[in-house]
Amino acid sequence: MIKNILVPQDGSKHSKTALEYGIFLAKRFHANLIGLHIIDIVALEGSFLHDLSGSLGFEPFLNFSSKMREVLEEKGKTILKDFSDVCRKENVRHESFMENGIVVNEICERAKLTDLVIIGRRGINVKFEYGLFGSAAEGIMRKSPQPVMVVSEEYKEISKPMFAFDGSASASKTLHYAAEFLKDLKQSVTVINLSKDRHSADVLKMAEDYLKPYHVDARFVILEGDSPEEIVKYYKGNNHDLIFMGLSGHSKIYEMVLGSTTEYVIRKVDGPVFVAR
């Protein structure tokens, strides 16, 4: 059961959208929202500081880092105040924290005492990020001890979820969270499987048997083809607005950018993706 939801805040549009989803879920689960702002020590003390000083035409001086920290702390206080103001307006229980450290590590540490993490696909430092989607989001999905919901820039109320179920260990773990999630929201779900081999029907039967005790209304669909494009095509063609997946990956690319299928879907769908590892 989801009772504590962590929503990291950095002032970006994506983190504000994450808060909108957090409020939606907090109201339905009667949950507590936890706002977390991180003063990134990598940005504060690493190459970013030297790049910034060079672009402004001066050499970094001894106390520049401390002055920058003061500025970032004030900005963080403003961001968390905005978070609290929104929660109070929506009559949602909440608390907030500001930490110093490495963004991914601090979020995953705080996640140990929560049930769900909601993050934006990209954050305020998107122009400094590399890879196919936000590097912080990728790191959080790799390391988080709790499930992660990755949201895009625009909010849309969840009403038509689907599950891309492949029978893997991570998908099975995600199925547990999805069952609790859907039971509390009283929503039906479409469970799909790519027809990679003759065992697709068996895989979907596993999901069907698992969901039965939760009394979740579900339909089961086998998709022709074996590529992640088919998942995205079905998602968009049937107007779904949330997709559950495991962090599946069976090749070397998993070492670099999560599971290739999961990473592709996150980039291509225009709604939240709920994953567990």
Q: State the DSSP string of 42-57.
A: HHHHSHHHHHHHHHHT
Instruction: Specify the range with the lowest mean pLDDT, choosing from 24-28, 145-149, 211-215, 245-249.
Output: 245-249
Going from N- to C-terminal start, the domains of the chain cover: 4-151, 161-276
The answer, yes or no, to whether residue 191 has pLDDT greater than 70, is yes
What band does 211 get if pLDDT is binned at 50, 70 and 90? very high
Strand order, beta sheet including 116-120: 94-101, 32-40, 4-8, 116-120, 148-151, 273-276, 242-246, 161-164, 189-194, 218-223
User: Average pLDDT, whole number, for the chain?
Assistant: 85
Q: What residues contact 144, with CB distance under 8 A and at least 6 apart?
A: 107, 108, 111, 117, 277
Superfamily of domain 161-276 in CATH is HUPs (3.40.50.620)
Please give the share of the chain, as a percent, with pLDDT higher than 70: 81
Domains 4-151 and 161-276 agree in fold: yes
At 196, give phi and psi (nearest 5°): -75, -30
- Chain segment 68-102, per-residue pLDDT in tens: 778 889 999 999 999 999 999 999 999 999 999 99
- Residue 140: what residue type? I
Fold of 4-151: Rossmann fold (3.40.50)
Q: What does the buried/exposed string (b/e) look like for 148-181 if buried means 16 or more CB atoms within 10 Å of the residue's CB?
A: bbbbbeebbebebbbbbbbbbebbbbbbebbbeb
